[in-house]
Amino acid sequence: MNKNSILGFVLIAAIMIGYSIWMAPSKEELAAKKRKQDSIAMVMQRYNDSASRAEKAALESRNKLKTEKVQKIKTAQKQQSAKTTNEKTSGIAKGYGAFSSATRGKEKYFTIETDLAKFSISKKGGFINSVELKKYKTWDQRPLYLFDSTTSRFGISFFENNNVISTNQLYFSVVGRHSGKNSYVVSGNDSLHIDMRVYANNPNGTIDSTRYIDYIYTFKGNNYMLGFNIEMHGMQGIIPANMNYVELKWYADLLQEEKTVDPRNGATIYYKFYKDNVDNLSERKDEKKTIKTNLKWVSFKQRFFSSTLISKQFFNDGILSVHKIKKNPPTKHYLKSVSVDLTVPFNVLRDKTIPMSFYFGPNDFTTLKSYGMQLEHQIPIGWGFFILAWVNEWIVIPVFNWLGSYGWNYGIVILVLTILLKMALFPIAYKTYMSSAKMRVLKPEVDAIGAKFPKKEDSMKKQQAVMALYRKAGANPASGCIPMLLQMPILFAMFEFFPSAIQLRQQSFLWAHDLSSYDSILHLPWNIPFYGDHVSLFTLLMAVSTIMYTYLNNQMMGAQTQSMPGMKNMMYIMPIMFLGIFNNYASGLSYYYFLANIITFLQMYLFKYAINEEKLLKRIELNKKKPKKKSNFQKRLEAAAQQRSKQRR
């Protein structure tokens, strides 16, 4: 940069500095400008304050108008709701003729507490709307209610002129010496009679004390069974004289009380024909069934508890229904919905009382059997096959209850029960082992016969020679199978008994928290088809011990298993199948089968050391020398074999 350029920049800077100094305002001008700005700010503040107050007043006015509008809307809605309710009540009353006054009332509940249960009776309908069993809890320790109180319904229906009157829409009241109270208590052997009454009315709407319906309940302090009579007084002018029945409807939403739902012993409806056996609707799917013959009782049965309506006479017929609401269930712990529509014999000119009773309680075999009405047939202990039911009813259940009466842990009870059963079956087990021992010592001679007849066309000669050997030796291949068949009813009876035994419910043993449910030691992050989402240790032990027993048994049976390789493979497949089947079953059942296998191992080793096979072979050789008389069966068998041999030639 040259001197001229530098000089130019210096002159420009000097000019700008001088101009700014010359144009700068004086102190008086600055003070006047500040006063002007302050005045403008004060005016603007006053204006803003005024606008804020105006906006606030406007906002408050709008909110007030909105509040008044909302209040008017709510008032209108309440008025409309009251109007709708009044119209609905008025509509119901119009259709209820002589009971129109009884359709109006306030809901109220009466509680009755016994030693065993707490009952709640609703004023509307006059029926028991909830039952809590005091000695039991649900699997997650909630109070155990048999059905949902908000959805249960019960009532009788009959015709008056062209109207159908249903008592579940009528308001009852407690009458008699127990009136005026809201709660009642009865204990021990004492009884409590509660009379719920609904009066008819005169044409002018006043109460007619000569015409009424009574629900008479008889509660007992120490009994799950309670009396229930329906009495009708002065109904001649209301119920037609030519009607020979009234209709009884009962609906309930059952609640889930157990951790798992057993599809073989689930919630459904059981019923007993008047002079015949007990039957039931499906436990796995929805079903509706019309019964056209007389019924003695109907029961809303769950796995371990039931609510049963029993007629002192009989019900004419009925429509029974069980279904599951899959979308939007009515309650949190909803399980299934059940309902019955029964016709009850009643003639207004002849009858006054419909005698019935209720059972609300556990499905304990001994308790249900004590009533003598086949209520115990709701418990699946093998009723379809009489031998299984006989074994459970007369052997297993009495012994199990006897052992349980000592107050032992039920894991110990199952252990002692298993030992006792094995002791009772000991002679059969000994017979089975002895038969297999004879087969083993004769195996070299059987192999020699096989070598003598190697050709396929000589199979009949080979079979005849083997049978002759067995006959001379005093051995019978079937003698080992028959004792095993005799043990099968016990095994199958236990399969039916343990999942149904209420005594095992919520009873813990070792790692199992509930012997009536599965014992999970490991929860899996996914569900395995046919197996589940958990690992049951008792089931695993049972399966492993069964495989070990199968291996040892095959080693002992010798020639018998070698002649049936397909059966040998099947015996190994079965324990694997059991692993999937029993994983979701009662852990008490798997525990029993595991104990049975362990005791069987001990028996096998005891027999092995007790039976000297060398001495057994010498005894067989002596038997061969004795003359043998052929049985008629052997003669027919050999004749048939010879006939088949001739036909092949």
SS3 269: strand
Mean of pLDDT values over 537-547: 89
Out of 379, 413, 431, a domain closes at 379
> For 302-317, what is each residue's pLDDT tens digit?
999 999 999 999 999 9
| Domain co-membership, 189 together with 225 | yes
| Domain co-membership, 369 together with 400 | no
Mean of pLDDT values over 222-241: 92
Q: Is residue 194 part of a domain?
A: yes
CA distance linking residue 446 with residue 463, whole number of Å? 10
Number of domains in the chain: 3
| Domain co-membership, 341 together with 437 | no
Q: Which of 3-12, 132-141, 452-461, 579-588 has the lowest mean pLDDT?
A: 3-12
The pTM is what? Answer: 0.76
| Domain co-membership, 307 together with 450 | no
| Domain co-membership, 296 together with 210 | yes
Q: Is residue 385 part of a domain?
A: no
Domain containing residue 127: CATH number: 2.70.98.90
CA distance linking residue 172 with residue 197, whole number of Å? 5
> With bands split at pLDDT 50, 70 and 90, how would you rate the model's confidence at 63?
low
| Domain co-membership, 396 together with 251 | no
Checking if the pLDDT of 88 tops 50, the result is: no
| Domain co-membership, 74 together with 105 | no
CA distance linking residue 136 with residue 142, whole number of Å? 9
Checking if the pLDDT of 457 tops 90, the result is: no
| Domain co-membership, 356 together with 447 | no
> For 168-220, what is each residue's pLDDT tens digit?
999 999 998 888 889 999 999 999 999 999 999 888 888 888 999 999 999 99
> What is the model's pLDDT at position 557?
59
Q: Which of 4-13, 27-36, 114-123, 159-168 has the lowest mean pLDDT?
A: 4-13
Sign of CA dihedral 556, 557, 563, 569: negative
CA 90 → CA 84, 102, 160, distances in Å?
9, 11, 18
Checking if the pLDDT of 566 tops 80, the result is: no
> What is the model's pLDDT at position 271?
97
Out of 313, 345, 379, a domain closes at 379
> With bands split at pLDDT 50, 70 and 90, how would you rate the model's confidence at 582?
confident
Q: Is residue 40 part of a domain?
A: no
CA distance linking residue 320 with residue 268, whole number of Å? 10
> For 385-414, what is each residue's pLDDT tens digit?
888 999 999 999 999 999 999 999 999 999
Name beta bridge partners: 342: 248, 318
What is the DSSP secondary-structure string of 399-441?
HHHHHHTTT--HHHHHHHHHHHHHHHTHHHHHHHHHHHHHHHH
CA distance linking residue 539 with residue 498, whole number of Å? 14
Q: Which of 261-265, 286-290, 532-536 has the lowest mean pLDDT?
A: 261-265
| Domain co-membership, 396 together with 352 | no
Tokens, residue 204: 């002018």
| Domain co-membership, 303 together with 411 | no
Mean of pLDDT values over 33-47: 56
Q: What is the DSSP-derived secondary structure letter of residue 631?
A: P
Checking if the pLDDT of 374 tops 50, the result is: yes
Q: Is residue 16 part of a domain?
A: no
Checking if the pLDDT of 352 tops 80, the result is: yes
**Across the chain, what does the average pLDDT equal?**
81
Q: Is residue 48 part of a domain?
A: no
Q: Is residue 37 part of a domain?
A: no
Tell me which residue of 330, 152, 314 sits closest to 249, measured CA to CA: 152
Name beta bridge partners: 132: 118, 145
> What is the model's pLDDT at position 633?
56
| Domain co-membership, 101 together with 70 | no
Mean of pLDDT values over 48-52: 53
The whole domain housing 89 covers 64-94
> What is the model's pLDDT at position 73?
47
CA distance linking residue 320 with residue 295, whole number of Å? 12
Q: Any long-range contacts for 274-282 (C-beta under 8 Å, 24+ apart)?
A: 274/314, 277/374, 277/377, 278/374, 278/377, 278/378, 278/383, 280/378, 281/320, 281/321, 281/322, 282/322
Out of 74, 94, 114, a domain closes at 94
| Domain co-membership, 84 together with 104 | no
Q: Is residue 14 part of a domain?
A: no
CA distance linking residue 59 with residue 69, whole number of Å? 15
> What is the model's pLDDT at position 83?
45
Checking if the pLDDT of 20 tops 90, the result is: no
Q: Is residue 18 part of a domain?
A: no
> What is the model's pLDDT at position 490?
85
3-state secondary structure 519-558: CEEEEEEEEECCCEEEEEHHHHHHHHHHHHHHHHHHHHHC
Give 47 or 291, the one with higher predicted confidence. Answer: 291
Checking if the pLDDT of 319 tops 50, the result is: yes
